[in-house]
Amino acid sequence: MDYPNLSRHILSLVGGGENISSFTNCMTRLRLEIIDPSRVDVDALKKLDGVMGVVDGDQLQVVVGPGHAQRLRDAFAVETGLEGSAPVDADADAPLSAVDDLRRLQTKNTQKVKARQKTGVHALFRHIGNIFIPIIPGFIACGLIVAIANVWKLIAPGVAANPWFLAFAALGSIVVGALNLLVGYNTAKEFGGTPVLGLIAGAVSYLPALAGIPASTAADGTVIPAQPLSIPLFGDLKPALGGIIGVIVTAWLFTVIEKWVRKHVPAWLDLFVVPVVTLLVGAAVCIFVIMPIAGLLMQGIDWVLIDFALERGGVIGGYLLSSLFLPLVMLGIHQGLTPIHAQLIADHGYTQLLPVLAMAGAGEVGMAIAIYVKTKSARLKSIIRAALPIGVLGVGEPLIYGVSLPLFYPLITACLGGGFGGAFVAFGIQATGGFGAGALGLSGVLMTAVITNGQWLWYVGGLVIAYIMGFVLTYFFGFKEHMVERLS
């Protein structure tokens, strides 16, 4: 593919650089934020050599396929002279290995669902997704290194004393150790602030000095008691109070302060005044307001999702969490759980919530297999053949928007079937004392590689149960041949 030439043609057909407010890419698409959609020639774009499809809407999406999107984005940046914004979720669009029919159905139904996602809440979750998605490759890399190190120690226990092994294993802790800094940096970038100030914002609530003065012994042997930093109404401070949610709010606040100060300061004083005022005011608000409130919020979320739903709820809690997850995906609010997963990984080394929720996708797989076996429609079979392999690997949107959502009742049986897998995994978490996913970004069978504490068989067992129950419920109760007419 001639990326520079294609970029020039795309640029001319969308009204030139002055008609683009920003652009980015995902795994398969160049995504353009268009100022005046009336100036875009969509039909001509579809005819360009190398373009596999165009999704028109608030965001113009030029589909070029996996492996090409990033290269086209780089060439487009050179052509326009613009930098673009952070790449977005790789599973937010259909895989281009799917047949055209699947892609058309998925695009059609995705647009219907996304059209209803215009509230401020949905915008907030999109921001959260844009903050964390660029970090996911690092999560995957470090998570797999931790998994390799754990298997290595099982095979050769003595290797744990080898300094080279320790250096190798330490690579797996880099992203978790720097997560607050990465999140702060990306938050500032997402909201239009100076990224390095966002990075500093991410460090404020993690300062060791926030622990106060530890207990010590004077020269005469007198014990000097610890002197913690304390805030009225909220009590003692401690580093990392408020966790990742506190970091996001603090970094966002830094961007608000930075923009306000910049409007009121002469340009010749900008470099000296804006960053200093931003840091001092933002840090004060972070320590005295954001950290305590975010700490209470994190405790509440942790109690609801972990203590109540999983530990006390057990199999019932696991069933409900898994069976309700697909509707959250369709509503576009599942990204709101990403900071929770990240915080659990930072605190415990894994998120026990993610393997339970992943069973929802396994229920979709079982549903698709049941329909494939039962239907007489060659068209529906071809759609499922295109979407099923990547569904097994954890990319569920083609099955949701291309199969279960338009047929409707199979969506319900997929949710119910996935719930059984979630119940099994939740039972395993209780029975073993705890395990989870040590990295974000992997789902389906691929998540097996990052299941911690050697408990991957519980996860695989959950997948198999969700496959079976999704199949059984759909085969007997969720699909009738006349439903194929809904795919028009």
Q: Tell which residue, 205, 206, 211, 202, has the closest CA to residue 236.
A: 211
- Of these residues, 26, 142, 286, 415, which one is catalytic? 26
User: Whose structure tokens read 């990326």?
Assistant: 3
Q: What residues does 223 pair with on adjacent strands?
A: 217
Active site residue 142: no
C-alpha span between 413 and 477 (Å, rounded): 8
C-alpha span between 51 and 244 (Å, rounded): 39
C-alpha span between 480 and 474 (Å, rounded): 9
* Phi, then psi, of 227 in degrees rounded to 5: -125, 85
> Are 380 and 484 a contacting pair, CB within 8 Å?
yes
- Tokens for 180, please give them: 């607050």
CA 3 to chain centre: 29
Q: Which residues are catalytic?
A: 26
